[in-house]
Structure 1
Amino acid sequence: MAILFDWYENPKTSEQQGEENMLHPRLRLNGKVSTAQLRARIQKYCTLTETDVIAVLDALSHAMGEELAEGRQVHLDGIGFFRPNLVSTEPVTEKTKRKNTKVRLKGIVYRPDRLLMDEVGKVKVQRTRFSFHSSKLTDEEIDALLTEFFTTHDFVQRKSFQLLCSMTQSTASRHLHRLCEEGKLKNVGLPKQPVYKPINGYYAVNE
């Protein structure tokens, strides 16, 4: 099966406005393989039983966790390199007090081994038949959709706005942020669970 992808426009800086749009390919996953499925396949490639594979994977997870917690890079032959990645919990300057307490683990960085890249080999790619792009609506068209939406709704959430405008999650979030900055919407919910209501004078809805 080929790797599915589609073309997306690169974001433009203010200096690039007016220039020809550049595109980049973005992969669309063909599905997900579970640990149980991998265990069954590993068993076919070696003499280990599936129970043995479970034990090895569990031990590998613990051993890698211990080494990564010590700040070491872990290399698995044929798989790749793993190392911890840090991030500050807040903006830090030279004058910040107790700087060492404002660092946490951000995640684990992975770099594939050359052997794994060779195992994947030369891939076959195919453009997906279905478009997952956001609709290219103008600000005026978005306002019109919201005006109609608020005739039957008191508020809008990111998911419903995303469906209303046929946008991706990131594009919908970006437009909601813009509408709040323009004073058309305000978040009356929580920062991580926003609920947006129109501000008086917009979308023919009075609070």
Structure 2
Amino acid sequence: MALQYDFYKNPSPKDSKKRVRYHARVVPRGTVGTKELAQRIHGRCTVTPADVKAVLSSLSDVVIEELKDGNRIHIEGLGYLQITLECPPVQSTKEIRAESIRFKSVAFRPEAELKKRLRVSRFERAPRKNHSSGLVAGERLDALLAGYFAKHGHITRIGFQTLCGFTRTTANRRLKELREAGKIDCLGAARASIYVAGENLGVHSQGSQETAGL
């Protein structure tokens, strides 16, 4: 299966007069979770899916423990993991104390063999070109959601992301904006949220009303 891509605008200041530039980025088809990984691994060996999930869970715990101890992690076939730090800008190393050092992120450096195997990937242009033609926003986004809710009772974050062609970050930001504007309402817990049409979106399908009444 070919990787799908689209073109995204390069970040630039609002008052910049430079010509807009674009860069290519993979458009994710979805997220493969631990359950799916366990099934795939099970299909290649005799280990049961439950055992694979247990190993992956233990791997996560051990990696975190080793990183907290200051070690760099090497997972053969994938690459290296290492903690990165942040602290306030200083002019002298004597100005900073350990209390000011904070965890920033985890850096990943892929192995050469991993990059070599990925270089032969095939690519195809994503059928939806929302980013290269301008992100869905404003009245266009409202109309898109209104049309969706006219046929469906609710939408998930992943469904919203796919519908609009957003990245996960953009989808979460737009969902928050829509909630604050009263155009959608959120039901369910944070990790299992579903969204229904709000009063200010101007659409109330039978399905959305039934869902909102649960």
Length-normalised TM-score, structure 1: 0.56
The answer on 1:103 being equivalent to 2:101 is: yes
Secondary structure of 1:45's aligned partner: coil
Residues 10-29 of structure 1 mapped to structure 2, 5 A cutoff = 10-12=10-12, 17-18=17-18, 20-29=19-28
Mapped partners of 2:21, 2:41: distance in 1:
42
Amino acid at match of 1:82: L
Is the 1:3–1:124 contact (alpha carbons within 8 Å) kept by the matching residues of 2? yes
Q: How many residues align?
A: 143
The superposition leaves residues 98-143 of structure 1 with CA deviations (integer Å, 9 ceiling, x where unpaired) of 6221111112111222333344351111122222233699xxxx9x
Q: 1:120 aligns with which of 118, 121, 130?
A: 118
Mapped partners of 1:106, 1:85: distance in 2:
5
Mapped partners of 1:27, 1:44: distance in 2:
27
Q: CA RMSD in A?
A: 3.4
The residue that corresponds to 2:7 in the other structure is: 7
User: Hey, which bits of structure 1, 4+ residues long, moved more than 4 A?
Assistant: 90-93, 95-98
Mapped partners of 2:23, 2:107: distance in 1:
23
Is the 1:74–1:82 contact (alpha carbons within 8 Å) kept by the matching residues of 2? yes
Residues 56-75 of structure 1 mapped to structure 2, 5 A cutoff = 56-75=55-74
Instruction: Quickly say closer, same or farther: Cα 1:12–1:98, change in 2 above 3 A.
Output: closer
Instruction: Quickly say closer, same or farther: Cα 1:13–1:30, change in 2 above 3 A.
Output: same
Instruction: Quickly say closer, same or farther: Cα 1:37–1:135, change in 2 above 3 A.
Output: closer
Structure 1 unaligned regions, length at least 5: 146-165, 174-207
The residue that corresponds to 1:130 in the other structure is: 128
Higher-Rg structure is 1
Structure 2 unaligned regions, length at least 5: 140-163, 174-214
The residue that corresponds to 2:31 in the other structure is: 32
Query: How many percent identity over aligned positions?
Result: 29
The superposition leaves residues 128-176 of structure 1 with CA deviations (integer Å, 9 ceiling, x where unpaired) of 2222233699xxxx9xx9xxxxxxxxxxxxxxxxxxxx9x777xx9xxx
Is the 1:4–1:29 contact (alpha carbons within 8 Å) kept by the matching residues of 2? yes
Aligned-residue offset at 1:8: 2.6
Mapped partners of 2:112, 2:80: distance in 1:
10
Mapped partners of 1:93, 1:12: distance in 2:
29
Task: Name the structure with the higher helix share.
Answer: 2
Instruction: Quickly say closer, same or farther: Cα 1:113–1:95, change in 2 above 3 A.
Output: closer
Is the 1:85–1:107 contact (alpha carbons within 8 Å) kept by the matching residues of 2? yes
Secondary structure of 2:71's aligned partner: coil
Instruction: Quickly say closer, same or farther: Cα 1:67–1:102, change in 2 above 3 A.
Output: same
Is the 2:5–2:125 contact (alpha carbons within 8 Å) kept by the matching residues of 1? yes
